[in-house]
Amino acid sequence: MTDPEEQRAEIREHWEGAAAGWSKHADDFEQATMPVAQWMVDAIAPQPGQTVLEVGAGLGDTGFLAAELLEPGGRLISTDGAEAMVEVAKERAARRGLRNVEFRTMELEWLDQPTATVDAILGRFTYMLVVDPEAALREARRVLKPGGRLAIAVWDAPEHNTWMTTPGEELRRITGDPPPPDGPGPFSLADRTALTELLRDAGFDEVTVEPIDVVVAAPSLDALWERLSEMSPSMRDVLPRLSPADTYRLRDAIDARWAAHVRDDGSVAIPGRALGVRAEA
């Protein structure tokens, strides 16, 4: 069994290494997932003067939507476990001219924040990637004020997100590697019933789960391939080890499976689905 601390260190290392790719393709990812970010911000209904904590903020854009609604007098605390990701978010906030955002490096399972001090928490595509999501959610419950709101998002089941699963499936056909083991991963919280129970066990009330449709679009298959291969920590680790022949085989197989989503002008639009979760402390 993998040691939890080793898992945490490996996850952190992966995301530190992926930050450059996320920075490069940040606008594309923001556009694709804007329906999720907007749903989450609507769910917490930020008000002027409040304090909102975003955990696993990555690019930071979900929290930035909330930050604009917290003025005057409110603030956003934008956090991520990877220092490189925090730096990416800082740069993007500066370009937007946001002045009410505080940036910190922080782990979800041990929030460096006093008890009952934030009005709302945002966590987009992050709780599914921690070693102990229940511990992380208990920490979220601890730092929320009574009646505070939590809004998180995770990916729905793999069959609803072939834009994400196809590259890994075809890569494993070539390498012969087994499927990823159970544990932290994009679909580890895709079971709606289990997810609801997880939040209730962590002390949350009024838990609701809703599907949110997204579209992953790109000007071409080549552009989509470049984006996903540079943003995915696992792909970034494996692709350099492939021979040129295997790389071509991989691309051909992926392109064949995505062909149905190619438009007449060569652009690509692949549907996906997230789950939005709202709850109260």
In order of their start, the domains of the chain are 4-159+181-215+273-280 (3.40.50.150)
Instruction: List the one residue out of 172, 184, 185, 127 whose CA is nearest residue 153.
Output: 127
Q: Which is it for strands 205-218 and 144-155: parallel, antiparallel or unpaired?
A: unpaired
Query: Can you name the residues that pair with 218 across neighbouring β-strands?
Result: 268
Distance set, CA 235 to CA 20, 171, 176 (Å): 14, 9, 15
pTM of the predicted structure, to 2 decimals = 0.94
How much is the pLDDT for 240?
A: 87
pLDDT at 122: 99
Cα 124–chain centre separation = 5
Cα 229 to Cα 245: distance, rounded to the nearest angstrom: 17
Identify the sign of the CA torsion 169, 171, 176, 180: negative
Per-position pLDDT tens, the chain of length 281: 478 888 888 888 888 988 999 999 999 999 999 999 999 999 999 999 999 999 999 999 999 999 999 999 999 999 999 999 999 999 999 999 999 999 999 999 999 999 999 999 999 999 999 999 999 999 999 999 999 999 999 999 999 999 999 999 999 999 888 887 778 999 999 999 999 999 999 999 999 999 999 999 999 999 999 998 888 877 877 888 899 999 999 999 999 999 999 999 999 999 999 999 999 99
Which residue shows structure tokens 């956003």?
76
